[in-house]
Amino acid sequence: MLNTQKILDRAVLGEQISEEECNFIYRGASLGQLASAADSIRKRLNPAETVTYLIDRNINYTNVCDTACKFCAFYRPYGHKESYILSREILAQKIEETLEIGGTRILMQGGHHPDLRLDWYQDLLTWIREKYPKIQTDCFSPSEIDNICQIENKSAYYVLSALKDAGLMGLPGGGAELLDDRIRSRVSPKKISGERWIEIMDAAHSLKLATSASMVIGFGEKDENRVRHLTMLRDQQKKAKERGDFGFIAFIAWTLQHEQTALGRQSINRGLLGSGANEYLRNLAISRIYLQNITHMQSSWPTQGYKVAQVALEFGADDFGSTMMEENVVSQASTKTQQKVQVEEILSLVQEAGFQPRQRNTWYQIVA
């Protein structure tokens, strides 16, 4: 017979719990039990007194997308009067502003543009590498990579290899939302499947690209849908590690922001979408307990606010995330999100929470 505390005790000692056991503790364990176990595991895997952060900028190079996810208010259809592709001049300004405040990375993502060929992305990366050699480039989520694959009729490995040769250093974990296709088929039916997302990340892992894994909760899903998502990540991480690859460097979870989206406006979904602070913290702690083969976990100040992000540091998170400098996708889905944070604010918030802040780069190496 399953016992909540015994499962948590085994996890604290480093034992991998089963998917069945994870489902059991998801609702059976108290928030306090989960926090205690997650915090113990976080301190075993990472320096106990340190919380890292990243100085970077999110850049959305285009808002053109033909996938029409119901939870997205950012995209514009091809040919829409508000659609755009950023010019090199604007990109240069954004990168230079990032470097001026000590930034080390740009996270560049966009939509699924039907006209942009592989050579366009290669030229862009080569230009950034040659003009700004000190900036790290984490660009193009798995669904964007799949879009390029479809346009070029090439494999994910081929496309990622070409992009890496042009200067790509990492692949962000965007577009995962919930990998369980029972949820994806309802909220983003035109988007790649959960298995395809994993397949593209596997190619990125084999190429030693820096990658992260993400998760969004609040689609009206059940606990088992969330745990299935975590299992898919854990299995891929195990596969990559056994092959000698880095795998996912970090895991980031946040809650669905939906008030300004088509999904949120559908009357049938009123009261069924979104997740509060307690649900976010529970999911974060469960993730830390279950995904012990992924070293780092971020708190989410953009969707939870600063106070909950501080509390998350006691629920398994060892990283406060990044400055971002601008955020256009999540923030356009809701009026409740934080869009940016200053470096000084991160330092103050982390210290106020009782930790020592340390600036890192994409690879979680401490930056002097």
pLDDT digits (tens, 9 = 90+) for 260-292: 445 445 545 555 666 789 999 999 999 999 999
Phi first, then psi, for residue 137 (nearest 5°) are: -115, 105
Give the tokens for residue 145. 């990579």
Nearest alpha carbon to residue 359 among 170, 102, 172: 102
Q: Which of the residue ranges 13-27, 69-83, 109-123, 287-301 would you say has the lowest mean pLDDT?
A: 69-83
Closest CA to 360 of 58, 49, 52: 52
pLDDT at 133 over 70: yes
Predicted local confidence at residue 329, as pLDDT:
44
Q: How much is the mean pLDDT over the chain?
A: 91
Give the mean pLDDT of 146-160.
98
**pLDDT tens-digit profile of 23-71?**
999 999 999 999 999 999 999 999 999 999 999 999 999 999 988 777 6
pLDDT at 71: 64
pLDDT at 168 over 80: yes
Which residues, including other chains, have CB under 8 Å from residue 286's CB and lie 6 or more apart? 22, 25, 26, 34, 38, 226, 227, 230
Question: What tens digit of pLDDT does each residue of 227-266 get?
Answer: 999 999 999 999 999 999 999 999 999 998 645 445 445 5
pLDDT at 330 over 60: no
Distances (CA, A) of 45 to 5, 50, 165, 177, 325: 21, 12, 33, 25, 29
Q: Is residue 79 part of a domain?
A: yes
Question: Which structure tokens are listed for 112?
Answer: 């699924």
The total of structural domains in the chain comes to: 1
Asked if the structure places residue 366 within a domain, the reply is: no
For residue 54, the tally of other CB atoms under 10 A from its CB is 24
- Position 148 in a domain: yes
Does 93 fall in a domain? yes
Q: Is residue 13 part of a domain?
A: no
Question: Regarding beta strands 56-60 and 210-217, do their DSSP bridges make them parallel or antiparallel, or are they unpaired?
Answer: unpaired
Q: Using CB atoms within 10 Å of the CB of residue 279, give its burial: 0 to 12 exposed, 13 to 18 middle, 19+ buried.
A: middle
**Residue 334's domain is classified under what CATH number?**
3.20.20.70
Is 14 domain-assigned?
Answer: no
Whether 278 is in a domain gets the answer yes
Choice among 177-191, 317-331, 333-347 with the minimum mean pLDDT: 333-347
Q: Determine the longest span between alpha carbons in the chain, in angstroms.
A: 63
Name the band, by pLDDT with cuts 50, 70 and 90, for residue 130. Answer: very high
Backbone φ and ψ for 298, nearest 5 degrees, come out as -100, 150
184, 142 contact by CB (below 8 A)? no
134 belongs to a structural domain = yes
> Hey, which residues does 251 pair with through a beta bridge?
213, 297
Instruction: Domain of residue 108: give its range.
Output: 22-360
Distances (CA, A) of 322 to 245, 280, 357: 25, 19, 12
The answer to whether residue 321 scores a pLDDT higher than 80 is yes
By mean pLDDT, which of 230-239, 247-256, 326-335, 354-363 is the weakest?
Answer: 326-335
Residue 90 CA to residue 143 CA, distance in Å, equals 24
Please report the pLDDT score of residue 270 as a whole number: 57
Confidence at 337, pLDDT banded by 50, 70, 90? very low
Listed residue (19, 73, 38) closest to 256, CA to CA = 73
Q: What is the pLDDT of residue 269?
A: 56
Find the mean pLDDT for residues 287-313.
96
**Mean pLDDT, residues 9-31 taken together:** 97
Report the percent of the chain where pLDDT is more than 90.
80
Min mean pLDDT across 97-106, 220-229, 331-340 is at 331-340
Q: Could you tell me the CA-to-CA distances from 324 to 246, 302, 346 in Å, in that order?
A: 24, 10, 12
Check pLDDT > 70 for residue 3.
Answer: yes
